[in-house]
Structure 1
């Protein structure tokens, strides 16, 4: 038995798909399982027990994306099952090129507002005619051990600026809590400036127990460091789902997105902060009304009250 599985692209979605993918791996135990997807997703899944091979999607870097996908599909060879958790045109083209007895791409099976983890698992169950259980998110990395209780701040959100709470508010929370916690600031390569702004605001108050690791972590190191936190304050982003996998105490700040669909799955220690304005959720990358009230209306006092 040989399976080819295309994962979601974004780190958060890849982690939300981990329930379904782990179910598939366990159901087809002993099969040759090839996973294909973004660099971030493959950095997570290459450590999964039962995965035979991972292939990083580098088609966008190629001068001819379609030729790259075609060549890769032929190199994979004959499969029994080719299943994708995506539904873009590139996925349809890839499935067309792959030689597989069964081919399936992601479909939303319900119009109801349900969590994305359940959507992915329901799709896998439906496609493979199996009733997969809805378990916890899974990451194969051991949580980092900090010297003392540590507060993590995650001010970034790759999808767009509308999902980002403000640096000065993150800093106010850290300043208020620095005696109780050491502080670590997280972020990807594109979020280094935001993280530096927060660090400078904190240090301007004479506070030294702060570390800025934005842009300095691998995917594995990011997961490990978030996994060892005592408390995590984050926007709706990939790191939110890392925290949920480790069941870290989390304050999740939601603005334009739908919290019922993308909050931290099965994390009993998560608190969601949102305003429920008439314009929410707009699901836009930037505020279409220009006021960003869904995030500007949330201040550090609200977060601190929730923590207390």
Structure 2
């Protein structure tokens, strides 16, 4: 059942992290489908707005830099006032700062994200269920959606993504990534991806490739904008990645993916609706611990995964 209230202006706050922001896209698509004539103001981090800012119906994008200088809460108040009058305000964040800002937004209806289910369900469903629940809708969660065109590589290409912003526990080992890349380099060109803080891991892999005489690779760590990152991942033939934002980019384009999971709940954050996803996890008793670093100091959830495990899936 659709709402009777006329919705002409919508404010949406998206999550800070790239992966979480991408997992809101089925819910946002459903909002656009439900209110096709509404104009949207989008607020988020620089990274998340770079990824989602070109959705149709978005007329204004605001980057949240309230942490940068001065009093954050005064900045959040000013930000709320800058948004102006809206019919509907929805935040996909649960933080106190988000609730504080939403309090001051001039909206006929406003809703802060909350988890409705205690049991483990996919994060995409959590976001979509939240929108359905607060607006009394019954929309199914469709595919992840990003509006960028896939880059066309000259040869079959393998992408590897050794980083994971959340913490070291989510990271598989550079030498294992390198072993896979070396084996695959006979049939595929190699592209190493990573953010500005992941250039060291990428360099470690590059050293391994060079010492094995591999030349058909590119190291793009720290060198791509978010739109470029999305386009380059979208064009890949195969992608090997930790649980990370780029993993969800690959899911949006249904790229053949090997996703390596250690300390996180793959039932909640694996690739949504990607029939070409392969999950590798050792299902240890101590996992998923959801910690940034291994609390038991052994990191077996990642150490026990080998390049052989990955190659077995690919061949």
Q: Tell me the TM-score normalised to structure 2 length.
A: 0.97
Please list, as runs of the form range in 1=range in 2, the aligned pairs for 1:60-75 lying within 5 A after superposition.
Answer: 60-75=67-82
**2:70, 2:298 → 1: CA distance?**
40
**Is 1:291–2:295 an aligned residue pair?**
no
**Is 1:111–2:131 an aligned residue pair?**
no
**2:105, 2:202 → 1: CA distance?**
42
Which residue is equivalent to 1:177?
184
**Is 1:50–2:54 an aligned residue pair?**
no
Q: Return the match for 2:170 from 163, 166, 169.
A: 163
Q: Return the match for 1:248 from 255, 259, 266.
A: 255
**1:92, 1:243 → 2: CA distance?**
31
**2:85, 2:212 → 1: CA distance?**
62
* Cα offsets for 1:230-273 (capped at 9, x unmatched): 00000000000000000000000000000111011000000000
Asked whether the equivalents of residues 257 and 282 of structure 1 are also in contact (C-alpha less than 8 Å), the reply is yes
SS at match of 1:184: strand
Which residue is equivalent to 2:208?
201
Q: Return the match for 2:11 from 4, 20, 43.
A: 4
Dislocated runs of 4+, deviation >2 Å: none
**2:39, 2:78 → 1: CA distance?**
20
* Cα offsets for 1:152-178 (capped at 9, x unmatched): 000000000000000000000011110
SS at match of 1:170: helix
Unaligned runs of 5+ in 1: none
Asked whether the equivalents of residues 25 and 51 of structure 1 are also in contact (C-alpha less than 8 Å), the reply is no
**1:44, 1:50 → 2: CA distance?**
15
Which residue is equivalent to 2:237?
230
Which residue is equivalent to 1:38?
45
**1:83, 1:264 → 2: CA distance?**
24
Asked whether the equivalents of residues 45 and 54 of structure 1 are also in contact (C-alpha less than 8 Å), the reply is no
Asked whether the equivalents of residues 152 and 229 of structure 1 are also in contact (C-alpha less than 8 Å), the reply is yes
* Cα offsets for 1:171-195 (capped at 9, x unmatched): 0001111011000000000000100
SS at match of 1:52: strand
**1:293, 1:87 → 2: CA distance?**
32
**1:51, 1:129 → 2: CA distance?**
23
* Cα offsets for 1:73-122 (capped at 9, x unmatched): 11211111111001110011011111111111001111111100011000
* Cα offsets for 1:28-73 (capped at 9, x unmatched): 1111211111111111222111111110000110221111111111
**2:163, 2:149 → 1: CA distance?**
24
**2:312, 2:40 → 1: CA distance?**
47
Please list, as runs of the form range in 1=range in 2, the aligned pairs for 1:83-98 lying within 5 A after superposition.
Answer: 83-98=90-105
**1:122, 1:101 → 2: CA distance?**
21
**1:112, 1:246 → 2: CA distance?**
28
SS at match of 1:59: coil
**2:309, 2:91 → 1: CA distance?**
41
**2:57, 2:45 → 1: CA distance?**
19
SS at match of 1:61: coil
> In angstroms, what is the RMSD of aligned CA positions?
0.7
Q: Return the match for 2:149 from 126, 142, 150.
A: 142
Please list, as runs of the form range in 1=range in 2, the aligned pairs for 1:215-226 lying within 5 A after superposition.
Answer: 215-226=222-233
Q: Return the match for 1:13 from 20, 38, 48.
A: 20
Give the CA deviation at 1:23: 1.1
Give the CA deviation at 1:151: 0.3
SS at match of 1:234: strand
Which residue is equivalent to 1:262?
269
Aligned pair count reads 308
**2:299, 2:146 → 1: CA distance?**
34
Asked whether the equivalents of residues 11 and 89 of structure 2 are also in contact (C-alpha less than 8 Å), the reply is yes
Asked whether the equivalents of residues 12 and 237 of structure 1 are also in contact (C-alpha less than 8 Å), the reply is yes
